[in-house]
Amino acid sequence: MDSSLDQQSGIKKPYVHSQRFRIFNLTICLVAVMIVFGLFQFKVLDRVEFETLDFRYKLQGERQGCSDIVHIDIDEESIAQIGRWPWSRDWHASLITTLYGYQNKITAFDIFFSEPSPLIDFFLIESSRAANNVIYAIAFEYKKESASDSPYATDVLKRFTIDEAQIHGNKNLIPHFASPIAPLPDLYNTAIGAGHVNTIEDPDGTIRRAPTIIACKGDYYLHFALEITLKYLEIDPRDIIIVLGKHIDLGNGTKIPIDKHGMMLINWAGPWGKGFKHYSFWEVVSSYQKVTKGEEPLIPLSVFKDKICIIGLTATGLIDIKPVPLQSSYPIAGMHSNVIDTIVSKKFITEVKPPLNLILILALSLLIALVVPRFRPLNGLLFTILLVSLYFGLAFGVFKFLGLWISLIYPLTGVLISFIGIVVHSEIANAMDRMRLFHLAIEDGLTKLFVVRHFKEVLEQEMAKSLRYKRPLSLIISDIDHFKRINDTYGHLAGDFILKELANIMKSSCRESDMPARYGGEEFVMLLPETTREGAVEFAERLRKLVEGLTIEYNNVKFNITVSFGVAELKNEVAPADFIKRADEALYVAKETGRNKVCFG
């Protein structure tokens, strides 16, 4: 049995309640999912997805970063007091000596020292050697080969590489750089560590991740902040294991989640100046000078005891500023403190794997396909808004409390496409069902001709039009001769078959402007606009002869039937009943005077 038919009544169900309707909605859902899969595969909406990630960072608010991290900023005040940048390196030597004297744990320079200054470098080199806690930055050319390579400098850089055997996975996916910028060899030989400070932005130019490892000419280098973290945690870089696409195992129970390129998502503590202690370079060195003179220092230098001190450029015009999730201008020196804090506090942000995001897309789209069609459009919209709101809350909740970055835009795009598709489909389906119900109301179920009630409504309109514009209008009423005898002898099914055949003949014989209808029982009526009585009689006569010469076969029984016709042309009647009465009286005359004829009134 047709699945669209009611099992008990046999009446055709509305399309919106049929199985085909539900299957089509699921098809819409699957098409939406395939579209979003394609968008996901080609990263079409990644820029918008990044915006939602940034919004999540902002929503979680500021937090206090690791208290052992201190920034010493080369800011506007320091430039004003010390002079134009770059400074003589004895200023850096003085800073190292000051911090070491107050027992800081690590001094990390986010400043690259390359060109030698023989008369001054001695002090910096010796202070760095004496402190034995300094980590320097190294940098690499992105594209062109450096012409400043020297064997000595290259040998120095080799000290800061890690063994290829420590890296597992496809190493070709690690960011590769063309050439190292040669550092100052004698200075870097005094360092306890060095790491690269190259940045890699997302496609929208924003820094959200740190390249924990890069490659250059077959060697591999750790990030500056990761190198600092390892020294702070007293972990030998040679003991770590890097599994691309999974994590960096530090060997102390900490595993840093990284993607297949070795990129680590940074959990930003707050905007620049928030989350970590900041001191001016000038404040530190001048405080030391005051202490040596027996004067009150600008800041208590004891605050640097056991601290990681990150020295970087922050003065306007000198700094390498990049946009980050929390603000559009952020000194790169601040990136390092956030990386260190993320690792030390284990507040990692992990991007979920693509399969899970795709499952979320499918699940939300299916939910829309299954639920929305049950509601009216407005309620369906409200449900969709509620679902989107709940999913947004879920995305933020797992980000804040579990450190998981689940896709927001791609699943919601699937929801939007599914919702629009299903609402459009539902509206079309409802329109189809309304049209079907309309036809059921005006159409005879057996003959598919118009029912008499609808016929009379149209007749009234056509009569008014005919009288107003003085145009002819004719009416024909017909009746099958001796039809009761057929029903009594061969049954109602045979009678119904003959009625349907005769209705088909009438429909095919009428003009497009004519209107045939079932008047009741075996009677039919036809309205013929723009037709005089003579034209109507001629049409009825032609139809009578056609039926008379026709043989209808049903269940191996052949029937030859005849039909009587009554014709009337509109005169001055205003009421449809009066007009019909004249045609009916003409039919009565035809029946009484021998049947199978056309009479007119």
Known catalytic residues are: 522
3-state secondary structure of 7: coil
Structure tokens at 93: 């030597």
Burial of 546 (0-12, 13-18, 19+ CB in 10 A): middle
Structure tokens at 189: 């030989």
C-alpha to C-alpha distance for 574 and 319, rounded to whole angstroms = 95
Cβ–Cβ under 8 Å, residues 305 and 71: no
Angle at 252 between CA 249 and CA 253, to 5 degrees: 70
Cβ–Cβ under 8 Å, residues 279 and 299: yes
Q: For residue 182, what is the DSSP state?
A: P
Structure tokens at 380: 């369906």
Angle at 453 between CA 449 and CA 455, to 5 degrees: 55
Compute the CA torsion angle 176, 182, 188, 191 (nearest 10 deg). -20
Task: At 92, give phi and psi (nearest 5°).
Answer: -70, -35
Burial of 427 (0-12, 13-18, 19+ CB in 10 A): exposed
Pick from 307, 303, 329: which is nearest to 66 by CA?
A: 307
Structure tokens at 62: 């500021």
Burial of 11 (0-12, 13-18, 19+ CB in 10 A): exposed
Distances (CA, A) of 41 to 28, 174, 194, 280: 20, 21, 37, 47
Pick from 337, 436, 368: which is nearest to 106 by CA?
A: 337
Task: At 279, give phi and psi (nearest 5°).
Answer: -130, 150
Burial of 560 (0-12, 13-18, 19+ CB in 10 A): exposed
Q: Which residues of 205-241 are buried (b: 16+ CB within 10 A; e: fewer)?
A: ebbbbbbbbbbbeeebbbbbbbbbbbbbeeeebeebe
Alpha helices, DSSP H only, in 205-273? Answer: 224-232
Cβ–Cβ under 8 Å, residues 216 and 177: yes
C-alpha to C-alpha distance for 548 and 407, rounded to whole angstroms = 75
C-alpha to C-alpha distance for 514 and 527, rounded to whole angstroms = 6
